[in-house]
Structure 1
Amino acid sequence: MKKLALAVSASAVVLCGLAPAAFAQSSAQEGGAPTDAAAAAAAEVSPHTFTANVTLASEYRYRGLMQSNRRPAIQGGFDYAHSSGFYVGNWNSSISWLGDSNPKVSAPIEMDFYGGFKNTVTLAGLEWNYDAGVLQYYYPGDYPTGFTRPYTTELYVGAGAGPVFFKYSQALTNLFGFADSKYSYYADLSANVPLNFWDLTLNAHVGYQNVKHVNSASYTDWKLGLTKDLGKGFALAIAYIDTNAHKSAYTNSYGRYVGKATAWASITKTF
């Protein structure tokens, strides 16, 4: 049952790149004329970008489903990006969904590892963004004998223009603990539209999760929200999240339906 973001995307959640940071310095000779070395230093731009982020969320939702049983979640990650478009990263979150589905499981952390390539290309006078990579979801912990491990590896490819982006992810392994679910896929259509007032961005998303050989587990999820840029690396987000997931497939051991609609909020700091 599970996961289906983030990340921070990229939409996004889950769910997107950062421009390389620039560093420049200059000096002047007596009389004010810059030296060749100073001019070269002023023009130098690092091709490397390192960032980190930390988030406090009212709960963790992924692809519309509860990951923390409606309890707050602490999340964070690290990213490296090269000016060529290559990137790698790690993202982590507190979770409870594995223990909620089977009390014999002790796996309170999700660790995601990803890498890929993203860039832009101009076609027919329109600038397109594209992204392709691989993502692994890892859940360290203790599992009872015979329990299908939730570890999942997905390949993804996406493209978009302007505020709209479409992403397709396909599992190369079983999907989040569903037995015999290799080659399940997730289709994600998202839009992030700047509203040009109060530094607000409108976030809209609809996704479809297909679970191979488990028809009752396939479902659609959707989200509508706002993100507010607070400055100094802080961002506040609120959203309404819902799904049409079948209760027969997505009710945990405590009797809670994990696809239930919710109001959600988070605050993120990027370094």
Structure 2
Amino acid sequence: MRKTVIASALIAASIVLPTMANAADAAPTPEHTFTSNVTLASEYIYRGIGQTNRKPAVQGGVDYAHSSGVYLGAWGSNVSWLSDGSSTVSNSLEMDFYGGFKNAVGDFGYDVGLLQYFYPGSGYGNNPNTLEGYIGGSYSILSLKYSHAFSDLFGWTDSKGSGYLDLSATYELTPGLNLVGHVGRQKVKGDNSGASYTDYKLGVTKDFSGTVVGLSYITTNASQNYYTNAFGKDLGKDRIQLTLTRTF
């Protein structure tokens, strides 16, 4: 009888203990999450257009996320596109401030928010600081996002209401190794509608224990008349970009 009781107790323990261990392993999502990141890039390229005159960039940001889906963040990078070839402009930095809400319904994720681009400096013609609102969705390997300018877009005169549509896909080839594809359409309103263009990107990323290395081919059909800088460089021309990103 004693052996039967002991055996029953051992069987019960073998069932309950793994269940308890699994419950302990499934830690609850923290209410507040803070992360930061730093990137070294062979060139800062945004929406297919070079921002640093084909020179390297150092970038970094901080992010806060609440378990409800609310988030805030700030990001910065060196830039030169405003001051290249212009002795009257003093600017070497882009600062972005953003906030929004993202969540998921089943397998469909959604994201809405505001993004303020800020270029501290002086000597500008039309103000390059830009406020955009965005809405995006994701499903499986695909994501689609639309950004709408509530101000003039990056200094283009009378370009309020311009928009950018971004379709991207990320496919995991092997654990930690991803194939990334992207096509985007930048629509510039107003007298500078000729500055509208489509950009394309194809690349791979590899995660080395939290350090992500990216290698991409980027090209656009942007008009040279609008995107050739004072040094004669076509900022929308095809090129290769290498990035190294660490998240903390």
TM-score by length of 2: 0.87
1:155-207 deviation digits (Å, cap 9, x = unpaired): 0000120010000000000000001000000000000111125x211110000
Give 1:84's match in structure 2, choosing from 65, 68, 83: 68
Instruction: Please provide the CA RMSD for this pair.
Output: 1.6
Report deviation, 1:46.
2.4
Give yes or no for the alignment of 1:137 onto 2:121: no
Report deviation, 1:102.
3.1
Give 1:111's match in structure 2, choosing from 95, 105, 108: 95
Give yes or no for the alignment of 1:97 onto 2:75: no
What letter matches 1:142 in structure 2? S
Other structure's SS at 1:68 match:
coil
Which structure 2 residues correspond to residues 36-75 of structure 1 after superposition, within 5 A? 45-75=29-59
CA distance in 2, matches of 1:120, 1:155: 19
Distance 1:175 1:194, change over 3 A: same
CA distance in 1, matches of 2:110, 2:29: 24
Give 1:242's match in structure 2, choosing from 213, 219, 227: 219
Distance 1:56 1:120, change over 3 A: same
Cross-structure match for 1:29: none
Which structure has greater helix proportion? 2
Report deviation, 1:45.
4.9
- Number of matched pairs: 224
1:27-50 deviation digits (Å, cap 9, x = unpaired): xxxxxxxxxxxx99x966521100
Other structure's SS at 1:224 match:
strand
Cross-structure match for 2:14: none
1:43-70 deviation digits (Å, cap 9, x = unpaired): 6652110000000000000000000001
TM-score by length of 1: 0.80
What letter matches 2:165 in structure 1? A
What letter matches 2:43 in structure 1? E
Cross-structure match for 1:180: 158
> Runs (4+) of structure 1 moved beyond 3 Å?
42-45
Cross-structure match for 2:173: 195
Report deviation, 1:261.
0.5
Distance 1:182 1:43, change over 3 A: closer
What letter matches 1:186 in structure 2? Y
What letter matches 2:205 in structure 1? T
* The structure with more radius of gyration: 2
